[in-house]
Structure 1
């Protein structure tokens, strides 16, 4: 699917699923608390589809798919039929109102746990935390060498590259020195410290990652497969051969070999390749071809495939998967709160905020990687929605919960004047955040770091 249309499609799928689940939380608990629900809407604005259910609720899908709402019978919005007063929202106890408002974020949290649970039962593929450092970067200067396996980050064990980078991203947000324990390819363990305090203030995580320069390690330059009928096979290359040099230039790893191959073949397709086989170095002459394979753009090829990076499959039974889901949900929540805390204190830049454009792009990437990766993405966004909605900002669920907590303390509801003022302040804050996030999204597209 075209990346643009794919991003739009998967954004609509993401918002449709998560918003529906969030609003269903409000709806379900409201009905259990005896409140009449007038409308259940996925999206805002003009309805493009609607029907009246047997329960009298109007269900609709609206034209603007960037949210949704549940409209309940509420005396603050007009006169209520005396026969329906017992089903009116504000007439319910404060605890029931708290339960109804908290149900939306609560259902998003439940969705996250279930999504991660299914993901771990299906099997979450990842690569091992075996890394290298780009030359003249912070990671290289800190002592990271090609093939180092990261064992712990800040004392916490990591098993996958994704978990490793998430833990390091948390350190980059706070810009504090971060200890790593490593194991060399020869088995020797050592500890280094990434001097993240040297990162400049006011940049986003992408810019910090570029300065850090940490990357997955490239596989060794060992031939895994030789395709019959192509130049390498004709020259006598065999599976298991280690490529030593290309046109006299030493080859360090597979990525270095492929880059060098494209460079030198563009000048002359006749290549002098030295391979090591059974302890002996064997010179081969290979004539590269410029062609397309498997629908890919044309490029220089000789017909060999290298070994893949070491992979990790986190695949568990139902009980272990549920435990891992809870652990992952807790860890991701801590990461999100850490981000919010650093944004509030000014330690992290507001450039890290992302909006619907960014979500759409990431949704398309995760969807293209398979069901388990898309479930992970849905879980992450659902968790973010839960936390965002619980922030004590009027117009969000957290703002309403704040009003109800004040009501519990003072023994009477917050005045309508205070609530209205809070709504204006909350709306201004929300629009500012959305505008800033949208600006960041567009800026990343126009001027990528």
Structure 2
């Protein structure tokens, strides 16, 4: 329950920030273009807080934190007196309306640059992309990728973290091959050629790295408890931090992976666990809780975190930059994320990426909660990623989104006359149906992950 409220609170904070940034873009440009703004709302539904400025704009924080809007004076929906017709949105030149519509997504991109620049100035700590294992008969195995390979570049794109490797791989979706430049465990440079002609991201929640068969290096997990989750089966059974695991159901334990497999196959079954505590053996009798995986199979879990072996020297690096370099990196990273987002939309349409990978509010909430748990820098990275995605999503040519409005305005710019009200109304209805279908599908994906 605590995790639920943590994720919910993190989601509200993250989405509130991003929506405020997006809508402020529309608001600021509308004011500069001489349009009267009637309401600036963060959220939908019943107003929880409201106040007014000296120009009469109403500011609202509403009950449903799933978006926001800027309501401008418009003769198509308002009774506008003659004295204020020059302040109406629909009476502004088409270039002004284009600027107002584009300002929201642009604000999200600028915000991402700012957030990433701050992140790089604070300092980014990450594990170097060193391969820990390779799945048998996988794309990586066929390319002779070896444990210990330090990935230096993907298709000549330099990479310094596993996130950068992942994004670079995703950019190569649809290509016949992807070239990895690596430094092997002996310090020799080599090229690994991934045959990606049949590569698809068509399984739900299977990361690109796993899909090609690469396992990042991670320190070994000790058979020792580092943390016990509150309210878990482990806590109820009396497991404590520092306990060393010896036997599970009379089977001697040799690795954490073995322990996990035994627990997973004993869901909702009273089990016998022997631990070493303060030099003595202690008998415990946990009953692993159960939850169904995507195949409907009941999987057991206790709610414990193991102790990690220390990272080898040189495997973790911290990158910190000055103000100018941070801004340059922020611009580059935002551009790369924007390009990747458009590429993924194209891959969804062509079937290279399955729609099972779409996420909705629940997925964003979990991501926000996790990033906050990892610290300030991780949360900044999450904000930047979602801000870029929000900007790209709003540029899609669906009439209910900013991209749809821009589509109509550019048509008007070319034809020298507005698109008919009937055509616009039909477009809004179709766009609303498509948007609702995408939202429902993403929510179903979220629910299936719970």
TM score, norm. by length of structure 2: 0.80
Aligned to 1:71, the other structure's residue is in SS state strand
Q: Which residue of 1 aligns with 2:129?
A: 129
Query: Aligned equivalents of 2:43 and 2:304: distance in 1?
Result: 44
C-alpha RMSD over aligned residues: 3.0
Q: Which residue of 2 aligns with 1:154?
A: 155
Query: Aligned equivalents of 2:282 and 2:189: distance in 1?
Result: 44
Q: Which residue of 1 aligns with 2:293?
A: none
Q: Which residue of 2 aligns with 1:278?
A: none
Structure 1 pair 420–179 and aligned structure 2 pair: CA distance change class (3 A): same
Residue 212 of structure 1 pairs with residue 224 of structure 2? no
Residue 401 of structure 1 pairs with residue 395 of structure 2? no
Aligned to 1:68, the other structure's residue is in SS state strand
Query: Aligned equivalents of 2:305 and 2:410: distance in 1?
Result: 64
Q: Which residue of 2 aligns with 1:379?
A: 384
Structure 1 pair 411–2 and aligned structure 2 pair: CA distance change class (3 A): same
Q: Which residue of 2 aligns with 1:333?
A: 338
Contact 1:35 1:88 in 2 (8 A): yes
Q: Which residue of 2 aligns with 1:236?
A: none
Residue 439 of structure 1 pairs with residue 440 of structure 2? no
Residue 366 of structure 1 pairs with residue 371 of structure 2? yes
Query: Aligned equivalents of 1:167 and 1:262: distance in 2?
Result: 32
Query: Aligned equivalents of 1:201 and 1:320: distance in 2?
Result: 34
* Aligned partner (choices 300, 307, 310) of residue 306 of structure 1: 310
Q: Which residue of 1 aligns with 2:194?
A: 194
Q: Which residue of 2 aligns with 1:355?
A: 360
Contact 2:134 2:145 in 1 (8 A): no
Structure 1 pair 49–261 and aligned structure 2 pair: CA distance change class (3 A): closer
Query: Aligned equivalents of 1:114 and 1:207: distance in 2?
Result: 28
Query: Aligned equivalents of 2:43 and 2:49: distance in 1?
Result: 11
Structure 1 pair 434–262 and aligned structure 2 pair: CA distance change class (3 A): closer
Query: Aligned equivalents of 1:260 and 1:425: distance in 2?
Result: 52
1:376 Cα deviation (Å)?
0.7
Q: Which residue of 1 aligns with 2:88?
A: 88
1:220 Cα deviation (Å)?
8.0
Point out where structure 1 has 5 or more consecutive residues left out of the alignment: 223-245, 247-255, 271-285
Query: Aligned equivalents of 2:305 and 2:34: distance in 1?
Result: 66
Structure 1 pair 181–205 and aligned structure 2 pair: CA distance change class (3 A): farther
1:210 Cα deviation (Å)?
3.6
Aligned to 1:78, the other structure's residue is in SS state coil
1:287 Cα deviation (Å)?
6.5
Residue 392 of structure 1 pairs with residue 393 of structure 2? no
Contact 2:44 2:65 in 1 (8 A): yes
Q: Which residue of 1 aligns with 2:146?
A: 145
Structure 1 consecutive aligned stretches of length 4 or more whose deviation exceeds 6 Å = 260-264, 266-270, 286-292, 296-301
Q: Which residue of 2 aligns with 1:282?
A: none
Residue 342 of structure 1 pairs with residue 343 of structure 2? no
Contact 1:262 1:299 in 2 (8 A): no
Contact 1:291 1:299 in 2 (8 A): no
1:320 Cα deviation (Å)?
0.6
**Aligned pairs, how many?**
391
Contact 2:200 2:353 in 1 (8 A): no
Query: Aligned equivalents of 1:399 and 1:73: distance in 2?
Result: 20
Query: Aligned equivalents of 1:189 and 1:386: distance in 2?
Result: 39
Q: Which has the larger radius of gyration?
A: 1
1:4 Cα deviation (Å)?
1.2
Structure 1 pair 291–87 and aligned structure 2 pair: CA distance change class (3 A): farther
TM score, norm. by length of structure 1: 0.80
Contact 1:175 1:198 in 2 (8 A): no
